[in-house]
């Protein structure tokens, strides 16, 4: 089967139902894939864009936890495919199709939608997480899967051995056959010929459809299984099936400035989320969002351009080494090494430094914010100082061990009670 035909015979399943509890209050009212990132996007835009750019145009997004904002985002901004060409991006909410339970794990989420998957007459199934930030050409991985005549292909990324205990680690032979799998091992195996790195699963899988269908049904009847791909199915396949490792470096869309550093981030913690956003304020970020050959798409709204007001000695509207999105007004204030998402207003005499300010926030006069993540729709009162007194920050807001402070409107309102 040629690659173009194979792409048309592939169904992409994006698992987007998770809460992402390590992001704390950022996911109180939205699922992790719906968290805003990089000034104008949501996390789910990355796997969706990768699918479109890779030529994978049969896409199902599986949702569950607090999915309203995610549903709205996809319905409004991702409805451009041609159904008459058998292309689609569909939302598949948890519907308890196989019983009375919600999704119990990643494998169970796919199993509960198996009848819809099988009705599409696909040859291959691409399983993706909806909560990672990266740029990858999945068609390269698909071609490897076909050439190897594999049952399963697992995308893997090299990680330093000192960090390997945070991942599911693959042990491979010289032909990239996966010969062992260990979940967060204390003594991880290294790669052949590379003693300082291990090979970690990225949670991206390509299955031959018939093979996956049979094994999902078998897993569903196993009461001892947690019904998760990483914990249950992948370890089960090792030694029993043809399971191959695909090296992410082969299919990553590389930044020319960092040819040896394929970009992939799990932004599942507040610090990781803050750092991923801060990277974009650097002169040359590791994540290239200006690559017209591999665009990251998102829902577009009509907004005015960003605006900077006042040019007096004591009151200059300025943004330095920052990303300022459409609809923002920087009015007689200074924004430094920060990201302002859409429709943010920073009022006079304020200073915003190394901070991530989500959409529709209003920062009052004479405020100072440092190392802060401000959730959407916050109204920061005049004279508020955050990021300079760890004890005061922890008493009023959420402050993690790395010194990043998260502020929500609920926290602000609690101050006046």
- Confidence band of 186 (pLDDT split at 50, 70, 90): confident
CA distance 42 to 364: 26
* Structure-token pair, residue 347: 């009022």
Phi and psi, residue 100, nearest 5°:
-95, 5
* Structure-token pair, residue 264: 């992939």
CA distance 341 to 328: 8
Residue ranges for the binding site?
Answer: 103, 168, 183-184, 201
Give 79-114 pLDDT, tens digit per residue: 998 888 889 999 998 766 555 567 888 999 999 999
Query: Taking residues 158-162, what's their average pLDDT?
Result: 92
SS3 assignment, position 192? coil
pTM for this prediction: 0.95
pLDDT of residue 25: 95
Residue ranges for the binding site for alpha-D-glucose 1-phosphate?
Answer: 103, 168, 183-184, 201
* Cα dist from 198 to 141, 172, 194, 293, 296, whole Å: 20, 10, 8, 31, 29
pLDDT of residue 100: 53
CA distance 230 to 211: 17
What domains can be seen in the chain, in order of their start residue? 3-279 (3.90.550.10), 307-415 (2.160.10.10)
At residue 380, does pLDDT exceed 90?
Answer: yes
SS3 assignment, position 271? helix
How do beta strands 168-172 and 339-340 pair? Answer: unpaired
Query: Taking residues 138-164, what's their average pLDDT?
Result: 96
At residue 150, does pLDDT exceed 60?
Answer: yes
Largest CA distance in the chain: 72
pLDDT of residue 82: 86
* Cα dist from 383 to 42, 219, 348, 367, 380, whole Å: 31, 57, 11, 5, 9
How do beta strands 405-407 and 372-374 pair? Answer: parallel
Of the candidates 248, 55, 38, the residue with the CA atom closest to the CA atom of residue 139: 55
CA distance 31 to 42: 11
* Cβ count near 286 (within 10 Å): 15
CA distance 373 to 371: 7
At residue 285, does pLDDT exceed 60?
Answer: yes
pLDDT of residue 45: 97
Give 324-344 pLDDT, tens digit per residue: 999 999 999 999 999 999 999
At residue 293, does pLDDT exceed 60?
Answer: yes
Q: What's the per-residue H, E or C state across 372-404?
A: EEECCCCEECCCCEECCCHHHHHHHCEECCCCC
């Amino acid at each position: 089967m040629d690659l173009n035909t194979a792409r048309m015979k592939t169904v992409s399943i994006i698992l987007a139902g998770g809460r992402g509890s390590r992001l704390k209050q950022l996911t109180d009212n939205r699922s992790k894939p719906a968290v805003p990132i990089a000034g104008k996007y949501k996390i789910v835009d990355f796997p969706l864009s990768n699918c479109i750019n890779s030529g994978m145009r049969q896409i199902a997004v599986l949702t569950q936890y607090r999915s309203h904002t995610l549903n709205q985002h996809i319905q409004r901004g991702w409805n451009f495919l041609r159904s008459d060409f058998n292309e689609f991006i569909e939302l598949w909410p948890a519907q308890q199709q196989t019983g009375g339970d919600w999704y119990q794990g990643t494998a169970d989420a796919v199993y509960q939608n198996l009848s819809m998957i099988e009705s599409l007459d696909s040859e291959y199934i691409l399983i993706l997480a909806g909560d990672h930030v990266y740029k990858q050409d999945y068609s390269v991985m698909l071609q490897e899967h076909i050439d190897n005549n594999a049952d399963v292909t697992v995308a893997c990324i090299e990680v330093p051995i000192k960090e390997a205990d945070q991942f599911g680690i693959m042990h491979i032979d010289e032909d990239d056959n996966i010969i062992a799998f260990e979940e967060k091992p204390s003594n991880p195996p290294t790669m052949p010929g590379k003693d300082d790195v291990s090979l970690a699963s990225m949670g991206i899988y390509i299955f031959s459809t018939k093979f996956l269908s049979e094994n999902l049904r078998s897993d569903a009847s196993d009461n001892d299984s947690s019904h998760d791909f990483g914990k249950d199915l992948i370890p089960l396949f090792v030694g029993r099936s043809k399971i191959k490792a695909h090296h992410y470096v082969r299919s990553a869309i590389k930044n020319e400035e960092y040819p040896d550093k394929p970009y992939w981030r799990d932004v599942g913690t507040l610090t990781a989320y803050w750092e991923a956003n801060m990277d974009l304020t650097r002169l040359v970020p590791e994540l290239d969002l200006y690559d017209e050959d591999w665009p990251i798409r998102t829902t577009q709204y009509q907004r005015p351009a960003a605006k900077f007001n006042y040019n007096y000695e004591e009151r200059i509207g300025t943004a330095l080494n920052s990303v300022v999105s459409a609809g923002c007004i920087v009015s007689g204030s200074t924004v430094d090494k920060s990201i302002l998402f859409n429709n943010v207003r920073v009022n006079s005499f304020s200073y915003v430094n190394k901070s991530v300010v989500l959409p529709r926030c209003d920062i009052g006069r004479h405020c100072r914010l440092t190392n802060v993540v401000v959730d959407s729709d916050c109204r920061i009162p005049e004279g508020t100082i955050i990021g300079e007194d760890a004890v005061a920050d922890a008493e009023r807001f959420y402050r993690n061990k790395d010194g990043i402070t998260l502020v929500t409107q609920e926290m602000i309102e609690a101050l006046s009670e």
